Amino acid sequence: MNRKILSVIITGVLFFILSGAQAATTLMQIGRSPFYQPPLTTADSLIAMVQSQKNAVKKGFEKAGRPELFAPFTSQVGSVQIDTVEFQKGDNFEWMFFKKKGKGAVRVAKDVTWGNDKPFTGFQFDIESEGKVYTFAVPLGCGNIALMGAKEMAPVDPVPASVVVAPNKAPECGMTVVPTEAFCGEMVSVDASSSSDPDGEITKMTIAVIDAQGQVVSEKVIEGSGLAGEVAMPCGANTIRTTVTDNDGESATSAACSVNVNGMERIGFLADVGYYNMPDPGNYLFGRVGMEYKFTENWGILGMIGGAPHIGGYDGVSAFLIDLLGEYSFSRYFVNMGVGGWISDGDDDLETEDSQLDFIVGAGARIYGEPEDFNASLFLEVRAAFDEFDDFVDYGRFGFGVRFRF
């Protein structure tokens, strides 16, 4: 009987030791399982990460068993003091968010200790909730949110009633941006007049343009109560974020004051390859390269040069092409109309060989890619000389091709 009791005791002790060992994590390297990429560089990039990954952050707090900290964390991180510190070997964290190899669902490691002799750089800041101060750490290289610990808030000494001063309340930020998609360099209106301050007035707004990596690429400060301004639309995908400051110097932003915008290029490069048939008969391959200029999102102009080598049929000769086309696009479809030079060294007395000024019409549809990225379209095109409309059926050139936009 004593042996059985001793065996049970030893088994329980081993289970307790092994369970404790499995619960602890020794971290030796930053960045292998990042919660967020690219690496953080500034406090603004940390705030942008929290805003853009809000659902994942919420899931992390739930998995860490502290869902009640999500709301104060996300509401205070934009206004608390964020310090950049060096974390040393032996520093311990109660838990830490991560994603395995930077992908998939949010995971939580508990009882994490930094075990490398070389320190790592990260942000450290405090969040207050229900009478406690929670200290958080976020390594710059991976964005993993970690809880270092918590302590009771220091008691506040009572102030005599005659000198009690109500604490300043932070302003509340609201914003509209028009338009959210425009050509690069066009002016974008930013209106924060819906912002308010419960115990004073807003005296300043700061408009920041933030790129896809979370870096502030431009900033504009507007003083006074007129909470509206304009900024030039940057190229590509960016975020416009506004911060308002009250008459006591306290600043605030919010999710409503962060809007994604997209700047489109007016000028693009393109190339055509295709085939023409002249019923007379004559067969041609053709190729053109050129540029496109967008006046509006729907209207543009294409200028192209190229060649049309004659490959078959007993009429016609090879030609050099100079074409200028107007374009109207809608959804993934487009129509073209314009003029083109068909320049050859053939017999000017033969309508199938002479150089001529053509009237060109065409239509097509995008079959691959998105408008702002590399894409390809199929198109039909007909061209005929202005002085040969009466013989259009014989001497017109009917073609199809593929258009690549870069």
Sequential DSSP letters for 380-394: EEEEEEGGGGGGHHH
Q: With a cut of 70, which residues of the chain have pLDDT below it?
A: 1-23, 156-163
Q: Where do the domains of the chain lie?
A: 2-152, 171-264, 267-405
Helix or strand run (H / E) with residue 11: helix 2-23
CATH topology of domain 267-405: Porin (2.40.160)
Q: What is the pTM of this model?
A: 0.50
Helix (H, G, I), strand (E, B) or coil at 18: helix
Q: Residue 1: what pLDDT? A: 47
Q: Residue 16: what pLDDT? A: 40
**Of the CATH numbers 2.60.290.11, 3.30.200.20, 2.60.40.10, 3.90.1150.200, which one belongs to the domain with range 171-264?**
2.60.40.10
> Percentage of residues in the chain with pLDDT exceeding 90?
68
Q: Residue 348: what pLDDT? A: 84
Q: Residue 111: what pLDDT? A: 93
Measure the CA–CA gap between 236 and 233, rounded to whole angstroms.
Answer: 9
Contact 170, 195 (CB under 8 A): no
Strand ranges (DSSP E) for 176-257? 176-178, 181-183, 187-191, 202-210, 216-223, 228-232, 236-246, 251-252
Contact 79, 244 (CB under 8 A): no
Q: Residue 22: what pLDDT? A: 43
What dihedral angle (degrees, nearest 10) is formed by the CA atoms of 55, 60, 65, 67? -30
Among 296, 264, 298, CA closest to 180: 264
Q: Tell me, yes or no, if the two domains 171-264 and 267-405 fold the same way.
A: no
Q: Residue 11: what pLDDT? A: 47
